[in-house]
Amino acid sequence: MRFLLRLAETTPADLSGDDYENRVAVMEAVGADLIEQVLTYLKQGPNLRVRFNVD
């Protein structure tokens, strides 16, 4: 999980603010950034697969 936060250049504190609307906006931005980075990575090798394990 920390890897994803580093990849998105954010911290747990950024995702746990008191303001619900701001917290949701930050999470949506993080999600969009992660998707963009993963898609860029996958375009480099179309046969690559990504698997997340959060145990």
Q: Would you say residue 14 lies in a domain?
A: yes
Q: Domain of residue 39: give its range.
A: 2-44
User: For position 35, what pLDDT does the model report?
Assistant: 84
Written as one letter, the residue type at 54 is V
Domain count along the chain: 1
Res 53: pLDDT = 66
What is the pLDDT, as a whole number, of residue 28? 84
Residue 55 lies in a domain: no
In a domain, 39, yes or no: yes
Say what the pTM is: 0.54
**Whether 22 contacts 13, CB under 8 Å:** no
22, 40, 48 from 51: Cα distances, Å: 29, 16, 10
Any domain includes 50: no
Residue 49 domain-assigned? no
Q: Is 23 among the domain residues?
A: yes
Asked if residue 25 is part of any domain, the answer here is yes
* pLDDT, tens only, 2-53: 777 777 677 788 777 788 888 788 778 888 888 888 888 777 777 777 676 6
pLDDT at 22: 80
